[in-house]
Amino acid sequence: MKYFFGLLLWMKVLGASAQETLKSPDGDLELKFSLDNKGVPTYALTFKGKAVLLPGKLGMEIAGDSISLRDGFRITGTQVSSVNDTWTPVWGQSSRIRNQYNELEVALYQEKRDTRILLRFRLFNDGLGFRYEFPKQKNLNYFTVKEELTEFRMTGDHKAFWLPGDYQTEEYKTSTTLLSGILPKLKSGTLKVGENYPLYENKGLVSVQTPLMMKSSDNLYINIHEAALVDYPAMMLELKGQTFSAHLTPDAVGNRAYIQTDFTTPWRTVLVSDDARDILASNTILNLNEPCALESTDWIRPVKYVGVWWEMFVKGSTWAYTNETNTKLGKTDYSKLKPNGTHGATTANVKKYIDFAAKHGFDQVLVEGWNEGWEDWYGLWKEDVFDFVTPYPDFDLNYLRDYAKSKGVRIMMHHETSAAATNYERRLDEAFRFMTANRYNAVKTGYVGYPIPRGEWRSGQWMASHYLRVAKEAAKHHIMVNSHEAVRPTGLCRTYPNWLAQESARGTEFEALADSDPDHTTILPFTRLVGGPMDYTPGIFQTTFDYYDPSNKKRVHTTLVKQLALYVTMYSPLQMAADLVENYERFPDALQFIKDVAVDWDETHILEAEPGDYVTIARKAKGKNEWFVGGITDENGRTAQINLDFLPAGRKFKATIYEDARGAHWETNPMAYGIRTVEVTSKTVLGQILAPGGGVAISIK
């Protein structure tokens, strides 16, 4: 299944020159590596002759080591090679992925410490990946990273789409400022996750986190992130002037990472183009990850699901079965507690969702709040919060399991851990065996709160290893994972494709908890989604919440149609239809798009894109002659130019267009939509009007 066109052009140069250059396959990107006169490794990057990164330092500081790996290096050899092949993802935005790059390996030797390291650079046509490699050697078996010294030196005061470098969360709104605006805004103290979310404090906040999207004044699009975060902390970026420096999330005692050689760091990635669409089309992060590590993958299937969830945000349903508190796992007799009457995960309510899923072809029904512990789950730094196997008295597990089976639907498991990862790990095997015994094959995990082990952060090395450990253990049980509040993804879903999706950004829930800006989902594809699929949970039809409660003035910051478009623009093999099923029954014609839209694809075409403004994407459903187009805009209305030249030539297709009605507006008239069908061909270019905060969704057969 894998074709290697790799051509090894290596040249081994002992006592090599202190400067090496490497070009991307198309020649547009050029990397210059050199050692300065103190033996400090530096690298610089240009695109079509324009500077992207000025010469920035590379190196590593080792804890308890008087001699750092920061200078005094000499080059002992370099090696250049090329790879051009394709591979087949288990699921994805396209059914084949091209992996084409030129590689420069630089072997460095530091005499003072008698230490060898390697730097490996890969230049794709759309960007650079590089990493540190520490071979096993006499003087370097185990070491502790005090700090990684990688610099990213920008060339100007770029526009940046950024989140603060919070060790704990990615759930902020994106700030859009010049680089020079970042520190003042951070210092202003105005950044917060959400007014109803006091748990997230800006502890340990440094400048920004990744993926960081930038645009230069001469229209270069630059994205900094990382690939394959394995056994290492996430990289934050500290800004000084126009230079970003790596800042690794520390552990409980202030160290960054514990390393055993041989070891390779995650790849540091810099995507570059003068066309914003190339950033969205990039597969570089995936290509830098290792191939699938699972023995079988036939049990992994993209999932479209509904669930007992949104009602907790808009209808006052509760995760907890009771308002009594101070319960103890395994000791409290819940049958003796007074039910609060607002519990969402009741047998009757879940049955209603199963019926809906069966009727409309959804695969699964997520049920949050099914298990004991929710009275006391939050903000207590409590370790034994949940046992993951004990349902509340009003959730009839056996009945619902069998009923779902009779309807051809699965219930999706929910493992909120309250970030007590130690508790989760010691119960994990039992929890997964319980799932298998009860016909669950997918789990949504949650990590709300400060982690246990106490002092660790959600983006630190220990927790990063934890999430991956859970995904790997889940794979042994043929369980798919959707992790919420985990560290932002870095393409590991290629290696562990049962790790279908993550949250790790401000999802739809924030429309109810606080708010999200109308441009939010025009930015996310350039930031969060660069690392992998997001369980964004779109599909809110009832966008205003005074519908439920006249005093609730919150609302979704999109039109209804934009909610449909998100199924195409926010790529994920796991897609929720998040609204209440009764709302879907009110709009069956709009629901039809969610029912039809694919969650796995043969082809993806980025038609239009500008971060913070608009995104238009077309995709071909996997194995079917069906295409879906999603277009979204920010707070400004616009006319999308939708060129259907991706369709097979010479044939006619029926396009069903879900569009904002005339006068629609995310704030004043969000739910006005129209549906029309037109005949289209590969020569059709649709000029489609999008309302302010609006969108368009098209299905083509």
Q: Does 437 bind a second copy (CB under 8 A)?
A: no
Q: Does 325 bind a second copy (CB under 8 A)?
A: yes
Nearest CB to a second copy, comparing residues 469 and 665: 469
Q: Which of 55, 204, 455, 637 binds a second copy (CB under 8 A)?
A: 455
Q: List the interface residues with a second copy, window 227-266 (CB under 8 A).
A: 251-253, 255, 258, 260-261
Non-local CB neighbours of 610 within 8 Å, separated by 6+ positions? 276, 522
User: How far apart are CB 210 and a second copy at their closest, in Å?
Assistant: 25
User: How far apart are CB 490 and a second copy at their closest, in Å?
Assistant: 21
Nearest CB to a second copy, comparing residues 319 and 362: 319
Nearest CB to a second copy, comparing residues 207 and 255: 255
Q: Does 359 bind a second copy (CB under 8 A)?
A: no
Nearest CB to a second copy, comparing residues 109 and 258: 258
Do 512 and 542 contact (CB within 8 A), yes or no?
no
Q: What is the 3-state secondary structure (H, E, C) of 168-224?
A: CCCCCCCEEEEHHHHHHHHHHCCCCCCCCCCCCCCCCCEEEECCEEEECCCCCEEEE
Dmax over CA atoms of the chain, in Å, equals 78
Given 509, 511, 608, 659, the catalytic residue: 509
β-pair type (235-240, 206-209): antiparallel
Nearest CB to a second copy, comparing residues 435 and 578: 435
CB-based burial label for 669 (10 Å; 0-12, 13-18, 19+):
middle
User: How far apart are CB 150 and a second copy at their closest, in Å?
Assistant: 24
Q: How far apart are CA 534 and CA 530, in angstroms?
A: 10
3-state DSSP call for residue 335? helix
User: How far apart are CB 336 and a second copy at their closest, in Å?
Assistant: 14
Give the per-residue contact string, 113-142, with a second copy (x = CB under 8 A; - = no). -----------------------x----xx
Q: Which of 81, 84, 144, 681 binds a second copy (CB under 8 A)?
A: 144
Q: List the interface residues with a second copy, window 400-429 (CB under 8 A).
A: 422, 425-426, 428-429
Q: List the interface residues with a second copy, window 460-489 (CB under 8 A).
A: 462, 469
Q: Does 453 bind a second copy (CB under 8 A)?
A: yes
User: How far apart are CB 470 and a second copy at their closest, in Å?
Assistant: 11
Q: How far apart are CA 573 and CA 301, in angstroms?
A: 8
Nearest CB to a second copy, comparing residues 465 and 669: 465
Cα 449–420–463 angle (5° rounding)?
A: 85
Total binding residues toward a second copy, as defined by CB under 8 A: 31
User: How far apart are CB 62 and a second copy at their closest, in Å?
Assistant: 14
User: How far apart are CB 258 and a second copy at their closest, in Å?
Assistant: 6
- 425 carries an active-site annotation: no
β-pair type (695-700, 142-148): unpaired
User: How far apart are CB 425 and a second copy at their closest, in Å?
Assistant: 5
Q: How far apart are CA 301 and CA 600, in angstroms?
A: 9
DSSP class of residue 668 equals T
Q: In 74-107, which positions are buried (b, 16+ CB within 10 angstroms) versus exposed (e)?
A: ebbbbbbbbbeebbebbbbbbbebebbbbbbbbb
Q: Which of 12, 240, 454, 624 binds a second copy (CB under 8 A)?
A: 454
Beta partners for residue 7, in sequence order? 82
User: How far apart are CB 459 and a second copy at their closest, in Å?
Assistant: 16
Q: How far apart are CA 532 and CA 253, in angstroms?
A: 30
Neighbours of 171 (CB within 10 A): 22
Alpha-carbon radius of gyration of the chain: 25
Do 226 and 490 contact (CB within 8 A), yes or no?
yes
Do 592 and 321 contact (CB within 8 A), yes or no?
no
Nearest CB to a second copy, comparing residues 328 and 683: 328
Q: Which stretch binds a second copy (CB under 8 A): 171-179, 236-244, 299-307, 446-454?
A: 446-454
User: How far apart are CB 426 and a second copy at their closest, in Å?
Assistant: 5
Nearest CB to a second copy, comparing residues 201 and 667: 201
DSSP class of residue 532 equals S
Nearest CB to a second copy, comparing residues 456 and 659: 456
Closest CA to 559 of 699, 700, 696: 696
DSSP class of residue 561 equals H
| Cis-peptide, bond into residue 211, ω within 30° of zero | yes
Q: List the interface residues with a second copy, window 371-400 (CB under 8 A).
A: 376, 380-383
Q: Does 332 bind a second copy (CB under 8 A)?
A: no
Nearest CB to a second copy, comparing residues 138 and 676: 138
Interaction site with a second copy (CB under 8 A): 136, 141-142, 144, 251-253, 255, 258, 260-261, 325-326, 328, 376, 380-383, 422, 425-426, 428-429, 452-456, 462, 469
Which residues are known catalytic residues? 509
